Structure 1
Amino acid sequence: MLEQPYFGQRLRALRLGRSLSQAALAGAEMSTGYLSRLESGARPPNARIVRYLAERLGVPLAAFEPDQGPGLAEVLASVTSVPDEDLDEGLTGLLAKALSADGRRDPALRWQALWLLARIRGRQGQYEQEFVLLAELSDLAETLRVPELRARAYARRSRCALNLGQVEQAREYAADAVAAASGLTLPDQAAALLTLVSAEAEAGWLAQARAHAEQLCGLAEPAGGAAFTTALWAAATVAIRQGAYAEATKLMDRALENLDSHQDLALWLRLRLASASLQLQIVPPQTDDARAALEHIGPALELIGTEVHRQEALVVRAHLAYEEGDLDRSRELCAEAAAWDVKLSFRDRTRLQMLEGKLDILAHRTDQGVQRMRDLAEQAHAARHVELAAEIWRSLAETLEERRRSRS
C-alpha cells in the first residue's frame, strides 16, 4: 500500500503536470471530494483507486512509487501551473526535492526551477534560503552566457543581500546587474538600476543614489506603468533619506496616482505600505496620511497579502501608534510583531527594534533602551548601513531629549 502524504503529493504533481482539474481527473467513478482528500493525504489509496487513477492519467502504476520521484521538468510544470497564493509547502518541497535530485542535467531547465523557488522563498521572507539559490542562479547564468539571465540573477541577488543587511555585497551585485543589462530591454535595465539605487541609499551614498534615481525615472517614464511607479517610489525613498520631504511627498503622490489597483494589485499593496512608512519618516510625521494609507490597504491585505506583508503592516502600525502618542498600543503591536517568525528585511527588523528601544527609554528603562539602541547602531554600522546607523543615533538623541523634557 502506498503511504501518505507522498501518494497525495505525487498524485497532485501528476495531475497538474497534465493540466487536469480535479473534476476532470475524477471522472464518473470518483467524487472530487474524495480525490481532494487523497491529494491532501487525508485518505489512504487502495489498489483499485490506484489502478483507476493511473489509467486516467495515462501512467504506469510504478509512477506512484516513492523511488520513481517526479522529474524536475514534471514538477516545474506542476508548480508553475498553480497560482502564487495556492503554492503550499508540499508543492514547494517537491520542487526543492526535484532540484536536489536533478544532477544539473539541463542547465536551462534548472535555471527556471531555481528562479521560481528563489522567488517563492523571497515571498516567504526566507532570505537565507533565497540567497543560496540565487548564488547558484548567478553561476548558472555565467555558464549559460545569456545576458538577460545574468542581469536578472544579479539584480535579485542584490535585493536579497539588502534584505539580509549585506550592503557592500548588494552594491557589487547591483553594479554587475547594471553592466549585464546594458543594451537589454527597458525592464531589465530598470530592474538593475533600481537595485543600484537601493544599495547606494542604504550605504549612505545619497548623491549617487539620487543621480541614479533620476536616471531611472527618465528611463522608465516613457513606458509608464509599473516600471515608472517603482522608479518614482525609489526616488521618493532617496529624497526622504536626504530630508527633502516636500519632494519626497510629491514623488510618492505621483507614484500612487500612476498605478491603479487593477493593473498590479500586489505592487499597489506594497506601494501603499511603503507610503505609510515614509509618511511617518517625514518631519513632522504625517500621521493622518499614514493612517489613511493603512486603512486603504485593508481589503487587499486580506485578499492577497502574504505573511511578510502582514508583518510589515503590523510594524508600520506600531510606528504610527508611537507617533500618535499611544505608547501602550505601540508596545502591544511591537510585542505582537516580535512574537512572529521574523520575516522582515534587515532595515525593517532594525527599525522595529529601534522602536522597542525608544519605548524602553520612555518607560523609565533608560539604561536598557540606550544599550539596545547603541547595539543596533553598531550592528548597522558594521553591516555598512551608514544611513540606518545615523538614523538610530539621531533617534536615540531625540528620545533622550524627550525623556529629559518629560521629567523637567
Structure 2
Amino acid sequence: MQMMEQPLFGRRVKELRRARGLSQAALAGDELSTGYLSRLESGARQPTERVIAYVAERLGVDRRVFEAPSSGTALARALSIASSTDGDEAVEGLLSALGTPDGGDPLLRWRALWLVARRWRKLGNTAEELACLEELDRLADSLGLPELRCRARSSLARCLRSTGETGRAIDVAGRAVRLAREAGLALPDTAAALMALVSAEAEEGRLPEARAHVDELVGLVGGCGGTTLRAEALWSAATVRFRQGHQEAARDHIERAIQGLDSRADVTLWARLRLAAASLYLQSRPPLTGPAAARLKEAASALGYVGTPLLNQELLTLTAHLAFEEARFADARAHLDELRRGEMWLTHRDRLRAGVLDGRLLIVEGYEKEGRRHLEALGEEARRAYGVDLSAGEQTRRVPGAAGNAGT
C-alpha cells in the first residue's frame, strides 16, 4: 500500500484531529507520546504501518484517507484543472477521468464527484446531480469521515426533495442531522443538515416538525449577521411560516434575509432570495403584485450575469404568474410558451405550479372544460406526490380581471 508521504500525512492527521476537537494527548492515547505525534504532524517523522493503523483507529477513519495519490494520474490532473476554473470543459475532464482505471482513489474520487455535483446543481441538471450525490453518499461511508458523510447526505436530501422524493429526503436529512449532532460537527455542517430536513418536512406537509427544526436552525445561526448561512436560515423560516398560513411573518423573514445579505457575499443567493420573495408575494392572498414586480426586476438584473438554465426558468415562470395576476393574459401565455421551448429544469413542485397556471389560462381563454380537466389531473398528481392538493387554492379562487368567469 502506498502511503501518503510526509509532510502530507502529518497535515492530514492534524486536520482530522482538529476537526474532532482532540488535543494531541487525546489522540496519542496510551500507545504514542505527544512528542512523537507532534513530530508526525510536523512531517519530521515517517509513520510506520502500525502507527498509521493506530492513528486511523483513534480518529475513527478508514486508513485509506492517508493514501497518497500520484500527482500524475488522470484524475489528479483533471482535479487540478477543475479547481482553477468553473467552465463546462472542467466537468467534462473530471467525468472522463472518473472513468479511467486510476480514477478509483477514494479521496480523489470524493473531491472530483463533489465538484461535478456542484456544477450540475448550478446548471440545474438534477438527474446528473442526483447520480453524483448517490455515489458520494456511498463513498463517504467507506471513508468514515463524519464531515463528508454529513455533507453528502445534506446535499442528497436537498436534491431528492427537488425531485419530489420527499419521504426519502426526510430520512436522509434526518440521518445527516443526527450525525452532525453526535459527531459535534461545525456550525455550517449542522445548519446545512437542518436546512435540508426543514425543506423536506415542509414539502411533505409536516409543518409542526419543520417549524421546530427551523426555529432551532435560526437560533443556531442568529449571531451570524451578514452571512449566507443566516440568509438561508431566514429563507427556510419564511417558507415554513408561509405554509403555516403566517403570511406577514413569512414576508418579514424573507425581507430580513434580503436586507442582511450583500450581493458581494454571494450574488447568486442574492438573486435567488429575490425570486423566493417574488414567489411568496404572488402566492399571498391577495397577491402583492407591486412588491413581486420590484423583486423580479432586481433578480433579473443579477441573472443577466449569473443566470443558469434553472434560475432563468424560475424567473420566467414567476414573470408569467405576475402577468396573470395583473390580467395580462396574453403575456402570461407567451411566457409559458417560451418556458416550454427548451429542456425543462424546474423542480417538480414548480412544474406543477406552472401547470396550474396553464390550466387557469385555458379557462380565461375560453377553454373551460379543458382547463378544468387539466387542473383536476394536476391536483391528483399533487396528492400522490405530496399528500396535499397543491392546486386547491388555485381552483377555488376567481380569475383576476375576468369578471363572470368561474374561478380556477
By relative contact order (CA 8 Å, sep 6+), the higher-ranking structure is: 1
Is 2:327–2:400's contact at 8 Å kept on the other side of the alignment? no
Measure, in 1, the Cα distance between the counterparts of 2:208 and 2:115.
35
Measure, in 2, the Cα distance between the counterparts of 1:394 and 1:292.
25
Q: Which amino acid aligns with 2:322?
A: L
Pair 293,403 (structure 1): closer, same or farther in 2 beyond 3 Å = closer
In the TM superposition, residue 407 of structure 1 has moved relative to its aligned partner by 6.9
Partner of residue 78, structure 2: 75
| 1:155 lines up with 2:154 in the alignment | yes
Alignment match of 1:346 (pick from 332, 335, 348): 348
Measure, in 2, the Cα distance between the counterparts of 1:165 and 1:406.
33
Partner of residue 212, structure 1: 213
Query: Where in structure 2 are there 5+ consecutive unaligned residues?
Result: 1-71
Higher alpha-carbon deviation: 151-160 or 104-113: 104-113
- The structure with the greater share of residues assigned to helix is 1
Q: Determine helix, strand or coil for the equivalent of 2:389.
A: helix
Query: Where in structure 1 are there 5+ consecutive unaligned residues?
Result: 1-68
Alignment match of 1:378 (pick from 377, 380, 401): 380
Partner of residue 191, structure 2: 190
In the TM superposition, residue 403 of structure 1 has moved relative to its aligned partner by 7.1
In the TM superposition, residue 165 of structure 1 has moved relative to its aligned partner by 1.0
| 1:222 lines up with 2:223 in the alignment | yes
Q: 1:6-405 residue pairs with structure 2 within 5 A? A: 71-82=74-85, 84=86, 87-88=87-88, 90-102=89-101, 105-182=104-181, 183-224=184-225, 225-383=227-385, 385-386=386-387, 389-399=388-398, 405=404
RMSD: 1.9
Higher alpha-carbon deviation: 187-196 or 356-365: 356-365
Q: Determine helix, strand or coil for the equivalent of 2:286.
A: coil
Is 1:71–1:102's contact at 8 Å kept on the other side of the alignment? no
Question: What is the aligned residue count?
Answer: 333
Is 1:193–1:212's contact at 8 Å kept on the other side of the alignment? yes
Q: Determine helix, strand or coil for the equivalent of 1:97.
A: helix
Measure, in 2, the Cα distance between the counterparts of 1:400 and 1:197.
33
In the TM superposition, residue 242 of structure 1 has moved relative to its aligned partner by 1.4
Measure, in 2, the Cα distance between the counterparts of 1:237 and 1:103.
45
Q: Determine helix, strand or coil for the equivalent of 1:339.
A: coil
Measure, in 2, the Cα distance between the counterparts of 1:118 and 1:176.
20
Is 2:202–2:240's contact at 8 Å kept on the other side of the alignment? yes
Is 1:361–1:399's contact at 8 Å kept on the other side of the alignment? no
Q: Which amino acid aligns with 1:214?
A: D
TM (normalized to structure 1)?
0.78
Higher alpha-carbon deviation: 166-175 or 299-308: 299-308
Pair 71,103 (structure 1): closer, same or farther in 2 beyond 3 Å = closer
Pair 406,376 (structure 1): closer, same or farther in 2 beyond 3 Å = closer
TM (normalized to structure 2)?
0.78
Higher alpha-carbon deviation: 360-369 or 199-208: 360-369
In the TM superposition, residue 134 of structure 1 has moved relative to its aligned partner by 0.8
Deviations 1:326-354 (A, max 9, x none): 11110110111111211111111111111
Measure, in 2, the Cα distance between the counterparts of 1:407 and 1:179.
49
In the TM superposition, residue 294 of structure 1 has moved relative to its aligned partner by 1.2
Is 1:266–1:304's contact at 8 Å kept on the other side of the alignment? yes
Measure, in 1, the Cα distance between the counterparts of 2:345 and 2:402.
32
Is 1:114–1:137's contact at 8 Å kept on the other side of the alignment? yes
Percent identical residues: 40
Measure, in 1, the Cα distance between the counterparts of 2:400 and 2:291.
26
Q: Determine helix, strand or coil for the equivalent of 1:344.
A: coil
Measure, in 2, the Cα distance between the counterparts of 1:396 and 1:138.
41
Measure, in 2, the Cα distance between the counterparts of 1:192 and 1:163.
15
Measure, in 2, the Cα distance between the counterparts of 1:315 and 1:382.
23
Q: Which amino acid aligns with 1:206?
A: L
Deviations 1:229-262 (A, max 9, x none): 1111111111111111111111111111111112
Q: Which amino acid aligns with 2:120?
A: R
